[in-house]
Every structure is written in C-alpha cells, then in structure tokens.
Chain A
C-alpha cells in the first residue's frame, strides 16, 4: 500500500469536511477498498473512516413503515436487526461474503462501490430504496449508473438507506464459489402497486431491472408466468466463470426460484 493519512471522525459533518481534501476517500468496512489499496489500484492521500460515526449505525423503522439502515451498518447487523422487519433483505445480508467479511463490510460501502456482482444493489433497486446522503435523497432508479458507477458526487457520503417493505420478497444468489459474489443474483419484491425484479452479476452495465418479468409477475405472481420469457444474452458478462448465454439463462432460472421462494 502507498502511505496515506487516516481520519476517524465521529459525526457525519466532520466526515464530510474531511472528505473535501484532494484525493480523500471514504472508508466503509474496507472489505473491498483495503484489498484494492494493497494491489495499489487506488492511491488516496487520505482515508476517512466512517466506522466511528454513531449516527450512521443501526436499523430502525420509519413513520412510513420503511426500514431505515444507517450507511455504516455492517451486513451482520442488518442480518440480525432487519430480520423482523424485512426478512428478505436480512437473508440477503446474511449471505454476503463470509462471516468475518459481514462483521466489517457495510451497506453504504457496498452501494457506493456498486460492484456489478454485489448483492445489495439488487435489493436496493428491487425495493425502490432511497439512498440518503449528507445532502440529498436519491431514488435507487436514478442511483445506479453502470459498473462501479453511481450518482454520488465526490466526497458525498451515504448516511442512510430506506427500504419500503414489500408484501413478499426473495433473493436468489447463484454463487461464484471462490469469490462468494453472485455469478447471477435476482431480487424479486412484490408490492401492492406491482412487482420489481432486479438482477446483479449478469450485465456489463451492472445491476438492472428486468422490465418484462416485472410486467408478467405484476399480472400473475407465479414462476410459470415467466416460462415464455427469455433474457437476451446480448450485454451479459462473459468470463471464465460463465458465458453470456449461461448468465442470461441463470437470470430466468433464479427469477423463477425467487418467485417460488418469496415470502
């Protein structure tokens, strides 16, 4: 690693101030960023750790019934504390990485990084979540802008993520067993006004919504209603773990499994 300064502010305001310096970088749980720094793929002059900010920790339920998760909340905490309010989301959090990763990695870090195979982007997009930052609220539909790309500005911090709770939901992750990321992951969420389906791991443009499946499932929420649909392999990731056609196939298989398992 190249040398850098590190700060541990205890308030959001102090973190935002610290991030205004040139080449400053926010540090969530570091489960992606620290390996990236070790490989010298990033060289910030300063890291601003968000792990000491109490107001960015924890899970609560808002007045509108939405589950609100502090941006610095670890996956392990979400898996425990969101279980009673949004079990599909808690189940997703409980299978990210491995136990030690879940004790450090945070929801804000995952969403800010927007890895094309990460789990949380699928939950946020399928739930129509709101990404709350230090200066605005961003709808999930506007937030994800392609592989490793988001609507966040330089120095902007995800302070909270608000998830409207669906009537039923499920996340199916087809595991890439070495990395424990999703080879393909599909999050299905059924709301009173329709079904949302978000797919991670598959597209060269990162997480996306499968509109045809959403329309079909909104009319008839059953796995068999997807029989006639096919995901186009064009634009799907192809690598040593799977071809684009294979990933396209897995999108449909996992969407059907998610519908069957939704609760």
Chain B
C-alpha cells in the first residue's frame, strides 16, 4: 500500500491505495465521489473524465499514485459555490444535452476543458474534442448544442436534425 494525498475539488484528501488502484476507484470507492462514472473501463468511453492539474484525463486509465500531489477536479466540483448549476451544466439542462445521463459527467468535464482552451469553439471543433466521449443514447446533437450555448454562441445555426 502507498499513501497518496491530493486536492480534490479544492479539498485536501489522502488515503492508502494499492499500486494498481485506479484514480477512478480512489475517487469513487475511497472518497465516495461517485459522480465520476466508469462506463467501459477500457479507456474508450470517456464517462470517467476528470481534470488533473487542469488537464482532462480518463480517471480509469491513470493510477491513483500518479495523481499524488495533484489538483483534481471532478463533476462534484463543477457547480457554483452556492450550489447553482455552472454555465455548462445549465446549458446541458436547457438544451436537453442528456438522455440517460450516464455519459454526462465526462461530457461536462470534457466540455469544461475545451472551453478553457478554446472559449468560442466551432461546431466542428466541439465534435472533434468529444471524440473520446461516447454517448450510447447517441444524443450528441444536443450535447454539441449545449456546449455551443455554454460558450455564449448562437445555437440557431445548429439545425434540429
């Protein structure tokens, strides 16, 4: 067992983990932050995307010990301090950017990483950035629309196909 410490959503946390403990397992099982979803466990689906030192990563494809000392942000830290939805979360609600909701934590965290890098992405840039996030309800259209809206851009151009 190894001891790890990190900052998760602004809170100092620590724990004892095995070498093989994934960051996703540490977040879910040790910290009980179950908003980070494990969809495929094969690094295909992106439901487990969190930010480590500001960069979007798949928490199921990184060991907890590799995040020792890091700043981690999960979906639980996405809402505003007063508990209201963040701009991105609100846009997902307004534009029906989720159906079953399973992929949503990863979608929102990927969207947040994209908008930090590129505050006004084109539709094509949004679609390319979401290559590693799979929605098995196939609700991509409204997800893209929600991210477009969250960036403050007009979504009328995205036709309701």
Contacts and interface: CB of A to CB of B under 8 A. Distances in A.
Contacts of B129: 99
Interface stretch (A28-36, A123-131, A165-173, A206-214): A28-36
A98 B55 contact: no
Nearest 5 Cβ contacts at the A-B interface:
A98-B132, A6-B19, A103-B55, A98-B131, A1-B20
Contacts, number: 73
Contact of B46 (A6, A34, A98, A103): A98
Nearest to B48: A100
A11 B48 CA distance: 31
B62 A6 contact: no
Nearest to A101: B132
Q: Chain A, interface size: which category?
A: 20 to 34
Contacts of B18: 3
A8 interface: yes
B56 A6 contact: no
Given A6-B63, A35-B61, A180-B131, A101 B43 contact: yes
Given A6-B20, A100-B58, 7 more contacts: A3-B18, A8-B65, A30-B61, A98-B131, A100-B132, A101-B61, A103-B55
Contacts of B22: 34
A136 B33 CA distance: 46
Interface of A: 1-6, 8, 30-31, 34-35, 37-38, 47, 49, 51, 76, 97-101, 103-104, 180
A145 to B, nearest CB: 27
B110 A8 contact: no
B42 interface: yes
B113 A104 contact: no
Contacts of A4: 19-20
B71 interface: no
Nearest to A52: B66
Contacts of B110: 99-100
A6 B3 CA distance: 12
B118 to A, nearest CB: 11
Nearest to A4: B19
Interface string B58-101: 10011101101000000000000000000000000000000000
Given A8-B65, A8-B66, A98-B46, A103 B20 contact: no
Contacts of A103: 52, 55-57
B4 to A, nearest CB: 10
